Structure 1
Amino acid sequence: MTEGGGVEGEWPHLSATPGKAGSPPSRLDDLEFLIETAESLAATLDLDQIIKRATRALALLVKRSGEAPSRAAFHRLYRGRLEVLEEVDEAGAHYGGDYPLEWNQAAELAIQTGRPKAVRESDLAPEIRALAREQGWRAGVLAPVRAGDRIYGLLIATARDRDHFHPEDERLMEVIARLTGLAIGHAENLGRHRRSARRMVALDEAKSEFMRLASHELRGPLTVIKGYLSLVLDGSFGELAPAARQPLEHIAAKAREMDQIIELMLETARLEDSRLLLKPEKIDLLAIVREAIKSHQPPGDTRIELRAPEQKVTVNADRERTAIIVGNLFSNAVKYSPPGSPVLARLWTENGSALVAVTDSGFGIAAEDLPKLFTRFGRITSGQAASVKGTGLGLYLSRELARLMEGDVVCESEAGAGSTFTLRLPLA
């Protein structure tokens, strides 16, 4: 656009104009014009640029239709008013501002029908009619721009020649308006997705910060509680009444459970802050599995059965983190299994890897819920699983730790048929 508001340059195929020497624009010219317009609008996601390019395309279309000075503008519809966002005026005039929609009956009708509308002087309120007469505008066409399910605004073309516009111009204006609406809708949708993504990132950062603060603040008091419980249970403060032992042991078990949750939170925070340092070494995976079974063997009839070779199974991994992973798999299996149902653990080697599979007899996981399992704070909230408590960190951390050690954790399950979680680690 030039400083005075005119059209900056012309596309070559628009140079011919009706009534002049040479051929008027053909259907091929129109097609090329629309393709270039579509490409121009699709090349940006900036709303201001989309509106500028749409107005410029309209100005080029109007310019080729006659010799009289013409004007193209984009008016945004907002709360019952039309606001001039962009204008290309060959006479160099600029109007700007906004006005009530009711001042332009043709605009109201175009918005109601969603179709282009020719503007007659009788359609205009006195305020606009006086301006049109002052500037000498004799003809006008406007086309509504629909973005999604709403009218975003109007593309408006005016000229000083009463016979300036042809029916074909209205059809082309309608196509330009549709292309503009698609571009605006796409830009707005992408903007919403970007804002949503930024909110999700901020929320994730807030969750991470909470985990760091909460885990550090809880660990100190919990250590004191566990210490005093241990002293009470071993008789350091005198003989313990038999009736008090069972509830105190239950409290101690819950304190250990809370300690495990805090450790999960700390490990997750270290992982996300890139502060988690692994210490890979040759370790006996069978010994770690047996220790985890001993720690997670539930009371009552539910038993964890182990099928494994008698000899050591040596892997190259971080001992502490491997114990966390295996412990999480057994904890989940026991948590989601009905009382009295078996939990099966298998350990074997194949293709240079050691594998630990833990199978429960629980209610299983529907296919649509499987992707949630290994996400941070991912919990299944449908069906029977909704009643099971948890942080949603255990499986997320287990898979991330396994992958850091060149292994993986995968799940096979279906609703109503139990689940199998398998840890794979490289053999030493």
Structure 2
Amino acid sequence: MKTSRIPGFYNMTVEDRRKTIAKLYALPEEQVDYLFSTEPLKTGTADKMIENVIGTFPLPLGLGLNFLINDKDYAVPMAIEEASVVASASYIAKIARSAGGFKTEATERIMIGQIQVVGCPDMHAAKQAILNEKAELLEVANAAYPSIAARGGGAEGLDVRILNESSESTFSQMLVVHLYVDTCDAMGANIINTMVEALAPTVEKLTGGKVYLRILSNYADRCLARATCSIPPHLLESEGFSGEEVRDGVIQAYQFAASDPYRAVTHNKGIMNGIDPIVIATGNDWRAVEAGAHAYAARNGHYGSMTTWSVDEKGNLRGELELPMSIGTVGGATRVHPMAKLALDILGNPSASELAQVMVAVGLAQNLGALKALVTDGIQKGHMALHSRSVAIAAGATGEMIDIVAEKLVQLKEVRVGKAEEILVGCKNDC
């Protein structure tokens, strides 16, 4: 039976972890080979993905464990270089699991394409002309990419906005057409760009203006995923802190981020610490997800917290995270990158909607992990303990010396390369 609860996983060797996951998730032999390969992404494949290739750049790939989302277990692949993120997310997932896990939902997967029109003799007449031909324009869009319609998606809506109408500058006055497309399990960039480019000549004829930009928008506010959790205070108890104290501290920390953009940026970066590694591991566009998420955090005219934390009627800590998720599980790197295929296999080959829901659940968990640490022992205690190994390696430690130096750094509370080098020299002299 597949489960995300794997006690002792952290203490296993890398090889034993690979074997455990391969067996537990019944991974195809080809995917298992990728796990054990020293070069899962071949240079020849990489050379076809981008320009001027000189090699590949691996990242650590870990598993976020203990996740129970909508009563389903997930071991979550996370590609990230920052220490403590995977451990923190897994720790909070274990706590949330005891309270029923995370509940998630998603809207329809509607992505947006934009067509910019300038120089219209009459903006309002141009807008109406486009709206009058809406049905025909949708037909043209779907004819440009018939395969998406065959899969049950395609262009299904259209509207028009007039921007900067009162401006005296002709450069700022414009009409913008929004094309709404159900991209199914694809992220949809190529689909949408093809459709809006196909519409451009007709739009020019209808408006008497000139079309400039025709491209998708990464602000996917009609493609949302939402996660919630409710955690009783006793599950939040920490050494020296009652559950109620931790709960109230988390809420106070959230209110800080909700009120102050200087705090909100760091707060939200922590949320994306949980989301971006999954986006990267599954071959999706983390820049698009980041841009959309931060725009959504400012949708009310003030940049604030992406999450909301409160006390529910039972006194539990309730968390919520809703974000646009412009991701896919077909097309792009998800079909080309072998490790992206592996990550999707471990996740059970989810739909794009399901994957988006997993991402926001992990983002919510990561946010709680950071806030809980901040309002109790401080963020550095756990983070630096894990970071100490990277510092030891940077100082030149190898083999068993990595753990020896790392442990001494933590004991001295000086997790820095210079101190690690001193410890190494001392160890050599003692020998």
**Do the two structures share a fold, i.e. TM-score over 0.5?**
no
* Structure number, greater radius of gyration: 1
TM-score, normalised to structure 2, is 0.18
TM-score, normalised to structure 1, is 0.19
Q: Quick one: higher RCO (CA 8 Å, sep 6+), 1 or 2?
A: 2
